[in-house]
């Protein structure tokens, strides 16, 4: 953790580990301010490289490349949580990783993540950790169905997890645990809504929370985010309180996201991401500062902007299979900002971009989204 607030000013260089869409949107926000960008990614001309000054084309855990990135950057950040911890600690020791390595260590591992939440007294689904098939069998004897078994590391977008609906799924779960070893079994929460709280914290403890957003997934991939979320005042208070507790406990620096389930007036924390999040893309058009702009301010030691939601908003992801539709719609698209990430290859389910719809009222936003969807 940094001991003092290091100020990085334009045109100093921000290094980004990972060259996907999150890095790209961070880079664009930083470029508006006049910073230079260096990116480390194994794919030449990756989405971030297209808007950066330098690309180091190498594997994320290539220590020579990490040293080079650290050397040419005044501050380093990352766009995903699976940053090699040795690499993160190296940059931290050089005094160039204000976010530190602790948040990465926790969010890379569901056991550490859920244990930390529990230790902080926050509401989470009941869970058990298992390390093989035998332990899984024992754990399931004490667990009500439905439940879900997830790998403790490496899962994303629903990959690396299986829902266990009834005792009939027991053998599938045992096989899964035997194959993946370190797993978490969670009680299934019959939630009504999924929400996310995206916030930014500075190196000196300044905290700004974006409006709570409501998320819909399709095939485990985020499909749509609506802000502000339609939730009770109690849920809102609980969600903000949970985010504040975690921000402090983990001494977060930068933009950070927490996904939660809502059931009645209760919340259950699901996952955390130590970086800007897909469900925060709406902030680019709908807030006075985006999650990316705020992130850059935090890692550069600048004060945060006070967040305001300017208009109701819905963000819809564009996957590979939606590309044709979006391009066909663009010439007539009303109040929809299209963002394409510059990725080659339109693979189904691959996130290629997003569209953000804003209007004066939520009803008008819904109509715009409906119109966009109907034309599909």
186 is a site residue for ligand AMP (CB under 6 A) = yes
**Cβ closer to ligand AMP: 7 or 165?**
165
Choose among 255, 353, 356: nearest CA to 24.
353
Work out how close the CB of 171 gets to ligand AMP at its nearest, in angstroms, rounded to a whole number: 21
Closer CB to ligand AMP, residue 13 or residue 270? 270
Identity of the residue, 49 or 189, whose beta carbon is nearer to ligand AMP in the bound complex: 189
**Does the footprint of ligand AMP cover residue 274 (CB under 6 A)?**
no
d(CA 287, CA 311): 8
Distance CA 122, CA 363 (A): 34
The binder of ligand AMP chosen from 17, 177, 184, 189 (CB under 6 A): 189
Tell me the C-alpha distance between 253 and 298, whole Å.
Answer: 7
Q: How many CB atoms lie within 10 A of CB 310?
A: 11
Sketch the per residue contact string, 338 through 357, with ligand AMP: x for CB under 6 A, - otherwise: --------------------
Under the binding rule (CB under 6 A), the answer on residue 271 touching ligand AMP is yes
Burial of 332 (0-12, 13-18, 19+ CB in 10 A): exposed
In the complex, the smallest distance separating the C-beta of residue 56 from ligand AMP, rounded to whole angstroms, is 30
* Contact stretch for ligand AMP (CB under 6 A) within 55-63, 188-196, 317-325, 358-366: 188-196
Q: Which long-range contacts (CB under 8 A, 24 or more apart) does 42-50 make?
A: 43/19, 46/19, 46/20, 47/19, 47/20, 47/21, 47/23, 47/341, 47/342, 47/343, 48/16, 48/18, 48/19, 48/20, 48/23, 48/24, 48/79, 49/19, 50/24, 50/342
Residues 156-185 that bind ligand AMP (CB under 6 A): 158, 161
Nearest Cα neighbor of 35 from 299, 303, 307 is 299
Cβ closer to ligand AMP: 122 or 189?
Answer: 189
Question: Closest separation between CB of residue 334 and ligand AMP, Å?
Answer: 30
Pick between residue 217 and residue 328 the one whose CB is nearest to ligand AMP. Answer: 217
The Cα–Cα gap between 370 and 368 comes to 5
Positions 209 through 268 that interact with ligand AMP (CB under 6 A) = 217, 220, 259
Bridge partners, 201 (sequence order): 207, 254
Contact window for ligand AMP (CB under 6 A) among 24-32, 50-58, 189-197, 288-296: 189-197
Q: Which residues bind ligand AMP (CB under 6 A)?
A: 125, 148, 155, 158, 161, 186, 188-189, 191, 194, 217, 220, 259, 270-271
């Amino acid at each position: 953790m940094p001991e003092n607030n290091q100020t990085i000013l334009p045109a100093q260089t921000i290094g980004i580990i990972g060259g996907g869409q999150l890095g790209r949107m961070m880079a664009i926000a930083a470029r508006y301010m006049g910073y230079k960008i260096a990116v480390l990614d194994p794919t030449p001309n990756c989405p971030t490289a297209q808007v950066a000054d330098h690309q180091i084309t190498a594997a994320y855990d290539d220590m020579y490349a990490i040293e080079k990135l650290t050397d040419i950057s005044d501050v380093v950040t990352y766009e995903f949580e699976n940053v090699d911890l040795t690499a993160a600690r190296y940059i931290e020791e050089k005094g160039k990783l204000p976010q530190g390595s602790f948040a990465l260590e926790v969010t890379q591992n569901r056991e550490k993540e859920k244990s930390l939440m529990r230790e902080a007294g926050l509401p989470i689904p009941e869970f058990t950790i298992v390390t093989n098939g035998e332990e899984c069998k024992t754990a399931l004897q004490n667990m009500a169905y439905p439940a879900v078994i997830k790998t403790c590391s490496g899962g994303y977008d629903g990959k690396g997890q299986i829902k266990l609906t009834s005792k009939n799924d027991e053998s599938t779960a045992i096989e899964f645990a035997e194959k993946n070893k370190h797993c978490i079994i969670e009680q299934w929460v019959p939630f009504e809504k999924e929400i996310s709280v995206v916030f930014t914290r500075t190196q000196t403890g300044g905290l700004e929370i974006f409006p709570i957003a409501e998320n819909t997934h399709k095939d485990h991939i985020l499909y749509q985010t609506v802000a502000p979320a339609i939730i009770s005042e109690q849920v809102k208070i609980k969600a903000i309180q949970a985010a504040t507790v975690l921000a402090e406990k983990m001494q977060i620096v930068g933009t950070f996201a927490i996904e939660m389930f809502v059931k009645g007036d209760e919340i259950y924390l699901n996952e955390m991401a130590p970086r800007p999040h897909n469900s925060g893309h709406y902030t680019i058009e709908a807030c006075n500062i985006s999650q990316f702009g705020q992130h850059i301010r935090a890692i550069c030691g600048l004060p945060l902007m006070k967040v305001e939601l300017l208009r109701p908003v819905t963000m819809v992801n564009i996957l590979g299979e939606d590309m044709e539709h979006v391009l066909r719609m663009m010439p007539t698209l009303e109040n929809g900002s299209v963002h394409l990430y510059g990725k080659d290859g339109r693979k189904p389910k691959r996130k290629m971009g997003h569209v953000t719809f804003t209007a004066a009222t939520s009803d008008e936003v819904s109509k715009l989204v409906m119109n966009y969807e109907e034309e599909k």
